[in-house]
Amino acid sequence: MSTPLASRGLPVGRGVPTAPTMGFGPPPIATATDGLWHTGDGHLITLAPTGAGKGRSGVIPALLTHPGATLTIDIKGENYHVTARRRREMGHRVVVLDPFRVSVPNPDTLNPLDLLSLAGSEPDSDSELLAELMCGGQPISTKDLFWELSGKGMITGLVGFAGEHPDPTKRTLGNVLDTMYADDSDYNIAVVLDTHTFANETARQELVGYLQHEKDKCRPSVRSTAQSMVKCLGSKSVRSSLDQTSFDLAAWRDGDPAIDIYLIFPPEKLDSHRAVLRLLLGTLLTVLLRRKTPPRERTLLLLDECGQLGALSHLKTALTLLRGYGVQAWTFWQDLSQLRSLYPTDWETLLNNSAVVQAFGMANGWMARTAAELMGLPVAHLLRLEADEQVISRPGKGAEVVRRVDYLTDPQFAGLFDANPRYLPGPSR
């Protein structure tokens, strides 16, 4: 009796048959038993240019087989359309976070402020964390950090107060924006300090500090700096996507019952609204860090097109710490230079924490050079790969040339997936 796909591990390749047909004709066709499966808990990294088939050979096969919870960065929504039925048939709750309604008309929603009330959270430090995520993690001035730090402090205070607002319907980032942009915002903050008993002392201190700034010159500049940091959260679609949480955050944390989250984010919004993506991803990863014990099945992070996401401090956390919380990450890059440029001081650490490295689709020597150096192979070796081949490095195996997984043609995936609405059947993704 064959072993169920969901119990074998992550599909990372197919073995190249070693017995030729008397030297004539094509080699034998690999069968399901020829599959290469990563059964350990180490992370994975894939290097392949745009259009080479990272989704077809990596993301989608993983979603069709992995038995535990998943979080997928789904830039175009294709992975959701192809695999959501399969995930539901596995008994999982499918969550679609789609702030711009790219794929579904009524997507799920996530209120980041719910993190503050989750068991094991620390509202004071988590208010600072959420403020940092909203501010994008990037300095807005290289000359004077006073305005940046003061603006973040104001956001921290307003987030902390919103998290414990007496009216539960006001515990939203929308309320934070309303307070910040109100004509009488300073007066409203003063009233809060006079009438509200804070459990979150950090929030109280930050709001007191804001009001202690000089009224006519300093305060307006601090407020405008804070507004500039969060303005991308104010559109109607984004705001409604952050007002409440439509799924069980505690269940997502615990991995039981399994929840599959597709985080759909259109490429044209990556520059203007990257803070929204950072906020959603950072909140979900922080929830996983609240685990007391790892779940029975690992939670799989499928982070496609990592180079388009910008530098994410939570990615380093995911690849260095979350393994101990039952989380496994599979990251996808166009080439090694993307990783180096975004994480100039940490790229080697991220690589060293990846147990499986695969590369394919190298079209020229420049693209192949760094991958070949990483694999310990001649550049020409990568350039000679056939369209269905890849180089893969696994623990104890070194670099090997094997066939790539192909969910469209490999028999073990037959009937498990739906059509990709962006493509006719057959073309490489």
Most confident of 3-12, 143-152, 409-418: 409-418
- Ranges 16-30, 48-62, 176-190, 258-272: which has the least confidence: 16-30
Residue that finishes a domain, picked among 208, 236, 264: 236
pLDDT at 400: 87
Tokens of 90: 């596995």
Split into its structural domains, the chain has a count of 2
* Statement to judge: residues 127 and 68 lie in one domain: no
* Domain-embedded: residue 420: no
* Domain-embedded: residue 425: no
DSSP string, 375-398: HT--HHHHHT--TTEEEEEETTTE
- Its domain, for residue 76, covers 5-110+248-413
* Domain-embedded: residue 370: yes
Q: 3-state class of 79 per DSSP?
A: helix
CATH number at residue 104: 3.40.50.300
CA distance 357 to 311: 20
Q: Is the pLDDT of residue 24 over 70?
A: no
* Statement to judge: residues 99 and 162 lie in one domain: no
* Statement to judge: residues 278 and 401 lie in one domain: yes
pLDDT class of 352 with cuts at 50, 70, 90: confident
* Statement to judge: residues 267 and 405 lie in one domain: yes
CA distance 141 to 129: 20
pLDDT class of 425 with cuts at 50, 70, 90: low
pLDDT at 106: 95
* Domain-embedded: residue 285: yes
* Statement to judge: residues 175 and 38 lie in one domain: no
* Statement to judge: residues 132 and 231 lie in one domain: yes
pLDDT at 184: 94
* Domain-embedded: residue 419: no
Tokens of 179: 């307070």
Residue that finishes a domain, picked among 190, 205, 236: 236
* Domain-embedded: residue 297: yes
- The crossing angle, in degrees rounded to 10, of helices 313-320 and 274-288 is 30
pLDDT at 428: 46
**CA-based diameter of the chain, in Å?**
88
CA distance 121 to 343: 28
* Statement to judge: residues 76 and 50 lie in one domain: yes
pLDDT at 370: 82
* Statement to judge: residues 230 and 302 lie in one domain: no
Q: Omega of the bond prior to 425 within 30 degrees of 0, cis?
A: no
262, 99 contact by CB (below 8 A):
no
* Statement to judge: residues 260 and 214 lie in one domain: no
* Statement to judge: residues 86 and 214 lie in one domain: no
* Domain-embedded: residue 222: yes
pLDDT class of 137 with cuts at 50, 70, 90: low
Tokens of 288: 């996983």
In 258-313, where do the E strands start and end? 259-264, 299-303
291, 319 contact by CB (below 8 A):
no
Residue that finishes a domain, picked among 189, 207, 236: 236
* Statement to judge: residues 255 and 229 lie in one domain: no
Once rounded to an integer, what is the mean pLDDT over residues 86-96?
A: 97
CB neighbour list of residue 332: distance below 8 Å, 6 or more residues apart: 45, 46, 48, 54, 58, 59, 302, 303, 304, 305, 306
- Ranges 9-18, 119-128, 187-196: which has the least confidence: 9-18
* Domain-embedded: residue 123: yes
* Statement to judge: residues 354 and 382 lie in one domain: yes
